[in-house]
Structure 1
């Protein structure tokens, strides 16, 4: 799916959901006011806190809270941590209004879900969750660049691999990637056909990388290789973004699947690979030389 198609589908969805209307469903609540009630049911908030939760400007949050206050659906109390602000919370009337809103909208959505089989509804839930996470991740990635590895990056990339390996106890005396003899000349190795390696750069520093190469001994499979990321890079979705880039490259090269080997020490990495559709398999494939990597995973295209 390309950006134009997704934007068109999003516009249609926004219209079907009534997000362009001045009220939510058949209730005298705007969509922003409805979201405000839902947030206050979870936890009371100041104007500034509500603006952050709803991702709107402060004036928008203040205006809608004032309208709800006028309807007696919310009430205020002094903020014990800041005498200049008030904390907003639901009143009993506001809770009743919110329950009525949930009943009405749940009934509407149940009617939509009745058009879908269980597996379709489950897939929809997973896809919406993934889309939401992608939006949040993209907001954290400003200034970070994913680009092809160059000869000038060799030393910095090898240093990242050695540092992360040491962090997780992956020593050179065992069959881990840190012991590979190619570690200091990776730009040369990944120039081969069907291969590529990318680094993640921020303010001229190499903070991580990962690549694709043919799987030795398997004609139709590639291997996801040397995915290492410094701690300061983690939590921004960049490892996933790089892995997606690598998988798209692999498909374009005509591979039928992608294999990887890792270790149980790298729990975050395993979770990432599973989220991308990799499944653990009992036997090793190809000839990687990483006999200490007891976790083997495969994603077929």
Structure 2
């Protein structure tokens, strides 16, 4: 029996439960088919008990799952027992922040739609530090620095071999928010411009003139998994982060992001707008 399961371990258990339920099997019937105890099935599905890739494949077979790509992806999750860099923050930061880093690390593509902030993966130190200083309730200086170092380490996904493809749609309002004053803002926007020149990063800006659009009040990160069933949506809310993986909700957010992306300027026009804001600081 493991300690507190990570978000990825919980997701594996959840997906195995979905396969069992689609097969019309109770946990008792599944246990009988697998030759194990019913509480083992329950513990695996709850992420409380580890499961081998071989056991995952056996379970998928017993559940009549013919989606080989999904089975391979689930077996890969079961095989990934190495501790990620984010585990060093386990006692320092909320679990939701660690789960986000884990999701980003294992994603094959990231898409973000942001209204009021520069996306965390594109923030420079001074901008991010000022963002954390505005958290309510107020964070202590050490807590600010922990969150700051964690955010910067998350950005490694954009510099890996290979880097994760990243698309960020940012509302113009976020570009005018002067966290840390004009000088920091100018350097922050220049960093966004520099990052947008990388082949695997695309930045689009929704100008004020675009008017209303769906999802305008949310900050959305859509992390694509190796198969669509393992996609994850991260919502950054004032009361904490939320990870969403229900199929109907994933479909909703795919549609929502497509609508948001349609409102954005082209990458070149977006860079021109960002540059004009820098020049006016």
TM-score by length of 1: 0.21
| Higher-RCO chain (CA-CA 8 Å, sequence separation at least 6) | 2
Q: Which of the pair has more CA radius of gyration?
A: 1
Q: Which has the higher strand share?
A: 1
